[in-house]
Amino acid sequence: MRALIQRVDWAEVEVAGEILGRIEKGLLVYVGVAVSDTPADAEALGTKVAHLRIFEDAEEKLNLSVGDVAGAVLVIPNFTLQADARKGRRPAFVNAMGGEAARALQETFVEAIRAEGRRVEQGRFGASMTIRSAALGPVNIVVDIPPAGVT
């Protein structure tokens, strides 16, 4: 699984004119599921996100997690994170898991974050979404579970 994690002042997701989720200070997380991903990968990534220390402490060091700052997490399903753009000009999505299997792993990811005591809002799997946010920093981190190059 791959997550693009952005520290935000606020973020929201809208589908067909309806706001599905909104958070104040926290993390906006785009998640792409690969065909090789497992439930263990989803749980590991969720735990990593819940405890990733990317908020500043009193000394302006990145030492605090989203839980430490009483923040929330907005999760957006995003299969395009699994794009392979190494060849040509049009990305290939052969590494992206589709359908119900990908949806189930994303839910496992979300439940892992919730199990760590974090509030989670989320977008709608398979929908065309509008995401609005205010980046804080900016701080953007890409996390791969398993790490890139490891199978």
**Does 114 map to a domain?**
yes
Number of domains in the chain: 1
> To which residue do tokens 């520290």 refer?
7
Please give the radius of gyration of the chain, using alpha carbons only, rounded to the nearest integer.
15
Poorest-confidence range of 24-28, 36-40, 125-129, 146-150? 146-150
Distance CA 38, CA 33 (A): 9
Q: How far apart, in whole angstroms, are the C-alpha atoms of residue 9 and residue 24?
A: 6
Residue 150 lies in a domain: no
pTM (two decimals)? 0.94
Rounded Cα gap, residues 111 and 29, in angstroms: 14
Separation CA 16–CA 5 (nearest Å): 24
Q: Does some domain include residue 100?
A: yes
Domain at 116, CATH number: 3.50.80.10
Assigned token pair, 132: 């609005």
Q: Examine residue 16 and state whether it is found in any structural domain, yes or no.
A: yes
Q: Distance of CA 102 to CAs 12, 47, 98, Å?
A: 22, 18, 5
Q: Say if 151 falls within a structural domain.
A: no
d(CA 30, CA 135) in angstroms, rounded, equals 14
pLDDT in tens, 83-124: 999 999 999 999 999 899 999 999 999 999 999 999 999 999
* Chain centroid to CA 117: 16
Asked whether residue 112 is domain-assigned, the answer is: yes
Q: Is residue 61 part of a domain?
A: yes
Predicted confidence band at 147 (pLDDT cuts at 50, 70, 90)?
Answer: confident
> In which domain, by residue range, is 63 found?
2-144
Angle at CA 132, nearest 5°, toward 127 and 134? Answer: 150
H/E segment holding residue 48 = helix 39-51
Asked if residue 149 belongs to a domain, the reply is no
